[in-house]
């Protein structure tokens, strides 16, 4: 069946179309080349044309057209992440199958993921007019329904377990796509060199389509999700509501943790890294906390410094713990930016090999400095009535090397 007929049928008559799709024989390369790659291209291409040629109406600015270099970078990032997202979700679908009475089959799992994305991909054309882009969300929601219909048919899950299977996959799919989409969105706003993408991912055809194996990290993540699904199934059978909630949390942790479990550093260890004085300003308050939901735990220490002239700095260290994978993505996809105006400047890039974001506003003045240490610890300094040099020095006063040495503390492979 050709691409147009398949896309039309999966949108208009998904229930019957899944029955047609189930026995079809195909390969990963053919599915990517003949279906996934062309449809996944619609949204990024429409966004590129919409933001460059048509522009976006913005208050006080008028019709804004994204610079061509930034738009090209955003286009590449969005497209590659779309291809990657389908593959990751197919791994999740395949890994969960046995836990819900289904059968593992990588090809069937990829077919489910690919065809369930069809409504969202087709709706990507709405991005030609940026203000209509929000309507694409509705298509994404319909895609969840298509996914729900397809999972039992292709993965052969019993009807009494199909709802739980679908729910867990949907949770994981949302988490994965939010992570990838948010990164692509950030990069789309400020630009990323295409060469870095080539270095990071390689050719989509070679590193995604033709690959018959997956990285150990993705295998580990799949195993962790599978274990959480079994936990959820057991909790459902016993009527343990709290157990079901804990299992759902563990599923999310699997997606955000990248196949590892992380126990955050004790908050008092972070607290001890904050100095008593910054640039002549004494510390006036001190706070350290640790908590979260289930295995999604973080710890944070923060302090406030100020003087009689009204100058002050808030300095904090956050261990992202169970959401460590967000930091890993941020460290890889560091945005390059350097813009300046009459009111201040904003810079993003790397300093000493670490991702850094600086923002200075002359009014006040107000200075913000953020850096990611070891792909895990976020250090933030926010200053009011102080210049950027003072805020930079505040961050430099911390023992960043010691903090970076803690990046593997409490990290273990998921069971």
Q: Tokens representing 340?
A: 């300046």
Q: Which helix (H) or strand (E) holds 186?
A: helix 159-190
Q: Where are the domains of the chain?
A: 3-258, 267-413
| Cis check: omega of the bond before 284, within 30 degrees of 0 | no
Q: Is 366 exposed, middle or buried (0-12, 13-18, 19+ CB in 10 A)?
A: middle
- Pairing state between β 62-64 and 260-262: unpaired
Q: Tokens representing 347?
A: 């810079």
Residue 279 to residue 227: CA distance in whole angstroms: 50
Task: Give me the tens of pLDDT residue by residue for the chain, a chain 415 residues long.
Answer: 789 999 999 988 999 999 999 999 999 888 998 999 999 888 888 777 776 665 555 444 445 555 565 566 667 777 877 888 888 888 888 888 888 888 999 999 999 999 998 988 888 887 666 555 556 666 767 887 888 888 889 999 887 776 677 778 877 766 666 666 555 554 444 333 333 332 232 333 222 222 333 334 445 555 555 565 566 556 656 666 566 555 555 555 554 555 567 788 999 999 999 999 987 899 999 999 887 655 557 788 999 999 988 899 999 998 877 555 444 444 444 456 688 888 999 887 888 888 888 889 998 899 999 888 887 888 999 999 999 999 999 999 999 999 999 988 888 765 5
Q: What is the DSSP letter of 311?
A: -
Residue-by-residue DSSP string for 42-71: HHHHHHHHIIIII-EEETTTEEE---HHHH
Angle between the N-to-C axes of helices 324-332 and 241-257, in degrees from 0 to 180, rounded to the nearest 10: 20
Q: Tokens representing 238?
A: 């016993």
Q: What is the 3-state secondary structure (H, E, C) of 69-105?
A: HHHHHHHHHHHHHHHHHHHHHHHHHHHHHHHHCCCCC
């Amino acid at each position: 069946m050709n691409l147009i007929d398949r896309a039309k049928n999966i949108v208009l008559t998904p229930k019957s179309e899944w029955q047609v799709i189930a026995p079809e024989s195909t390969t990963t390369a053919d599915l990517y080349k003949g279906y996934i790659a062309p449809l996944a291209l619609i949204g990024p291409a429409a966004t590129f044309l919409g933001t460059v040629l048509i522009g976006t109406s913005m208050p006080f600015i008028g019709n804004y057209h994204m610079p061509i270099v930034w738009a090209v970078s955003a286009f590449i990032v969005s497209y590659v992440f779309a291809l990657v997202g389908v593959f990751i979700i197919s791994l999740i679908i395949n890994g969960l199958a046995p836990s819900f009475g289904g059968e593992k089959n990588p090809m069937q799992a990829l077919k489910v993921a690919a065809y369930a994305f069809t409504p969202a991909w087709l709706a990507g054309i709405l991005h030609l007019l940026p203000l209509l882009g929000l309507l694409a969300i509705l298509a994404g929601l319909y895609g969840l329904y298509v996914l729900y219909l397809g999972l039992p048919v292709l993965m052969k899950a019993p009807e009494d377990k199909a709802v739980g299977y679908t729910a867990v996959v949907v949770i994981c799919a949302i988490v994965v796509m939010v992570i990838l989409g948010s990164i692509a969105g950030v990069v789309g706003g400020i630009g990323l060199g295409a060469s870095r993408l080539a270095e990071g991912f390689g050719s989509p055809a070679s590193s995604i389509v033709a690959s018959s194996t997956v990285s150990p990290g993705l295998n580990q993540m799949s195993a962790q999700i599978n274990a959480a699904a079994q936990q959820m199934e057991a909790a459902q059978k016993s009527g343990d509501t709290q157990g079901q909630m804990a299992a759902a949390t563990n599923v999310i942790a699997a997606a955000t943790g990248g196949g590892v479990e992380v126990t955050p550093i004790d908050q008092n260890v972070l607290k001890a890294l904050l100095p008593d004085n910054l640039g002549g300003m004494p510390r006036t308050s001190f706070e350290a906390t640790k908590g979260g939901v289930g295995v999604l735990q973080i710890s944070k220490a923060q302090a406030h410094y100020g003087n009689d002239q009204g100058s002050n700095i808030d300095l904090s260290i956050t261990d992202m713990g169970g959401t460590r994978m967000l930091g890993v993505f941020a460290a890889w996809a560091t945005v390059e930016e350097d813009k300046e105006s009459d009111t201040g400047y904003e810079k993003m890039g790397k300093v000493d090999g670490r991702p850094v974001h600086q923002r200075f506003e002359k009014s006040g003045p107000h200075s913000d400095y953020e850096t990611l240490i070891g792909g895990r610890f976020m250090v933030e300094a926010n200053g009011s009535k102080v210049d950027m040099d003072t805020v930079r020095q505040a961050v430099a006063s911390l023992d960043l090397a010691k903090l970076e040495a803690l990046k593997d503390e409490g990290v273990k492979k998921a069971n």
